[in-house]
């Protein structure tokens, strides 16, 4: 026998037991975003490799070691998207929908691909919902994005487990200033730095701030601080954001070491983190990227956005036991028929029920089987009621309605009254 094939490591099947929770999460987010006037975009999963190199930055972890890049049959270098912002910026530029200062509030959902070490909460194909806003440069929109996510955590019942971390990265000039001061400080202590940080000192020194190495963290205690190098405009902008969060009653923690792994951020950056998921604690992260559109060949255009990891949020819903009980039941009514003529009548009746009760979740027993085996299946389906049609019912043009949960009585209902009575029973 040949060996059965398996999915690629770090790329998961989402099984039927799990999809109700995913759909609940996704539809909760979608209607929240509808409520704030955000419109959905759908971008391709594959883009030119150049797009990610130019936007995310050549010396970031993602571009240096995490991208799935390949040559297609024409010899063009393509990449499975590691994130959505780059594609979204490409798309708005390509279609000219942010030109002339047009405000766009957009969101997207879909798989992202990064060649990381798979572990709980970290996969090679994972899913994000991302939000991007163009042409609004004030702190009010940064606040709106955070307020929106805060509301989402409330709707999902996971608010108490999440902490908002905030920082300002300042203007690119302020960052350049700070980078110089940081490099000077760390260069004088080169022999105390870990290998990764040594390498980053030349390529991306700000990333050293979120090094996980304790010795490096100890060294950073006395290092120059980004807050002391911020430009006035960024300071005012950040104060505008925190004032709004205070007004909205949203608690936050200032984290001066929050730098984010992508080059395009400036001014506001934020992360929602939890201690319930082990090392993979960031469930949502974002910030402002006012320079990115221009860097990608467009006119100067303010931009701000965030992305949340669906796998991690689904794990959090489970960890906090915030999975709505209603999700356990996917069938309301299970239709059992015995004998070929009854089966035919059941088929016609089931379709009539679907016409009359469009929201009904009705499963018709497929394939023959004794009543006993059909009942077993009905019970296992989680349905609240079974409908039963055999020779007697067929002769009388009725159906037996049998409650499967609790101890209600079985009753016979005429075909003409079935939809109405079934609806009443389901509501009770
Ligand atoms: P991390 O620090 O955990 O690697 P990141 O900064 O690389 O995260 P972003 O690029 O900001 O992550 O992506 C936004 C969100 O997407 C993260 O907060 C996380 O919830 C999720 N995410 C990122 N990478 C993965 C992954 N490999 N597997 C599952 N979820 C992920
Ligand atoms: Mg990462």
- Residue 223 half-sphere exposure toward CB, CA atoms < 13 A: 28
Alpha carbon distance 139, 131 (integer Å): 16
Ligand 1 pocket test target in 107, 145, 280 with most atoms within 8 Å of CB: 280
Mean pLDDT of 257-269: 86
List domains and CATH numbers for the chain: 19-171+231-319 (3.30.930.10), 330-427 (3.40.50.800)
Please tell me if the CB atom of residue 282 comes closer than 6 angstroms to any atom of ligand 1.
yes
- Given a contact cutoff of 8 angstroms between Cβ atoms, the answer to whether 164 and 143 are in contact is no
- Given a contact cutoff of 8 angstroms between Cβ atoms, the answer to whether 234 and 290 are in contact is no
Alpha carbon distance 264, 281 (integer Å): 22
Return the structure tokens found at 222.
């006395």
- Residue 63 half-sphere exposure toward CB, CA atoms < 13 A: 19
pLDDT in tens, 296-344: 999 999 999 999 999 999 999 999 999 999 898 899 999 999 999 999 9
Average pLDDT, the chain: 95
Please tell me if the CB atom of residue 126 comes closer than 6 angstroms to any atom of ligand 1.
yes
Q: What is the pLDDT of residue 57?
A: 87
Report the nearest-CA residue for atom 26 of ligand 1. 122
Please tell me if the CB atom of residue 207 comes closer than 6 angstroms to any atom of ligand 1.
no
Of 315, 242, 232, the closest CA to residue 277 belongs to 315
Ligand 1 pocket test target in 86, 309, 314, 315 with most atoms within 8 Å of CB: 309
pLDDT in tens, 12-29: 999 999 999 999 999 999
Please tell me if the CB atom of residue 141 comes closer than 6 angstroms to any atom of ligand 1.
no
pLDDT in tens, 31-83: 999 999 999 999 999 999 999 999 998 888 899 899 999 999 999 999 999 99
Q: Is the dihedral of CA 345, 351, 357, 359 positive or negative?
A: positive
* HEC letters along the chain: CCCCCCCCCCCCCCCCCCHHHHHHHHHHHHHHHHHCCCEECCCCCEEEHHHHHHHHCCCCHHHHHHCEEEECCCCCEEEECCCCHHHHHHHHHHCCCCHHHCCEEEEEEEEEECCCCCECCECCEEEEEEEEEECCCCHHHHHHHHHHHHHHHHHHCCHHHCEEEEEECCCHHHHHHHHHHHHHHHHCCHHHCCHHHHHHHHHCHHHHHHCCCHHHHHHHCCCCCHHHHCCHHHHHHHHHHHHHHHHHCCCCEECCCCCCCCCCCEEEEEEEECCCCCCCCEEEEEEECCCHHHHCCCCCCCEEEEEEEHHHHHHHHHHCCCCCHHHHCCCCEEEEECCHHHHHHHHHHHHHHHHHCCCCCEEECCCCCCHHHHHHHHHHCCCCEEEEECHHHHHHCEEEEEECCCCCCCEEEEHHHHHHHHHHHHHC
Ligand 1 atom at minimal distance to the Cα of residue 62: 7
pLDDT in tens, 102-147: 999 999 999 999 999 999 999 999 999 999 999 999 999 999 999 9
Alpha carbon distance 67, 111 (integer Å): 13
Q: What is the pLDDT of residue 61?
A: 86
Return the structure tokens found at 278.
């082990």
Q: What is the pLDDT of residue 1?
A: 64
Alpha carbon distance 5, 13 (integer Å): 13
């Amino acid at each position: 026998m040949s060996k059965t094939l398996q999915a690629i490591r770090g790329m998961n099947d989402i099984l039927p037991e799990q999809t109700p929770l995913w759909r609940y999460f996704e539809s909760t987010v979608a209607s929240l975003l509808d409520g704030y006037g955000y419109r959905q975009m759908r971008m391709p999963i594959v883009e030119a490799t150049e797009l990610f190199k130019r936007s995310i930055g050549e010396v970031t972890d993602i571009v240096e070691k995490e991208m799935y890049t390949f040559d297609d049959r024409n010899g063009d270098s393509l990449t499975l998207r590691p994130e959505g912002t780059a594609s979204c910026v490409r798309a708005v530029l390509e279609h000219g929908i942010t030109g002339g200062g047009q405000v766009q509030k957009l969101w997207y959902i879909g798989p992202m691909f990064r060649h990381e070490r798979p572990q709980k909460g970290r996969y090679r194909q994972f899913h994000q919902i991302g939000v991007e806003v163009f042409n609004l440069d004030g702190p009010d929109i940064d606040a709106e994005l955070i307020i929106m996510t805060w509301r989402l955590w409330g709707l999902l019942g996971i608010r108490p487990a999440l902490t908002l971390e905030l920082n300002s990265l300042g203007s690119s000039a302020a960052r350049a200033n700070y980078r110089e001061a940081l490099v000077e400080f760390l260069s004088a202590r080169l022999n105390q730095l870990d290998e990764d940080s040594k390498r980053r000192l030349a390529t991306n020194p700000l990333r050293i701030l979120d090094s996980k190495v304790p010795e490096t963290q100890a060294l950073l205690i006395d290092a120059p601080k980004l807050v002391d190098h911020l430009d006035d405009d960024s300071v005012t902008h950040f104060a505008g954001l925190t004032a709004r969060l205070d007004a909205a009653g949203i608690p936050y923690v200032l984290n001066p070491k929050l730098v984010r792994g992508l080059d395009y951020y400036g001014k506001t950056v934020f992360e929602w983190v939890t201690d319930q998921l082990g090392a993979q604690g960031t469930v949502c992260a974002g910030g402002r990227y006012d320079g990115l559109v221009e860097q990608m060949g467009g006119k100067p255009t303010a931009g701000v956005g965030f992305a949340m990891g669906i796998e991690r949020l689904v794990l959090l819903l489970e960890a906090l036991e915030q999975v709505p009980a209603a999700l356990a039941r996917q069938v309301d009514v299970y239709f059992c028929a015995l004998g070929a003529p009854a089966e035919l009548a059941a088929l016609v009746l089931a379709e009539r029920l679907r016409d009359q009760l469009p929201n009904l979740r009705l499963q018709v027993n497929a394939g023959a089987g004794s009543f006993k085996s059909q009942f077993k299946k009905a019970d296992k389906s989680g349905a609240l009621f079974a409908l039963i049609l055999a020779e007697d019912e067929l002769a009388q043009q009725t159906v037996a309605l049998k409650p499967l949960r609790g101890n209600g009585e079985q009753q016979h209902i005429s075909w003409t009254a079935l939809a109405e009575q079934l609806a009443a029973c389901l509501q009770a």
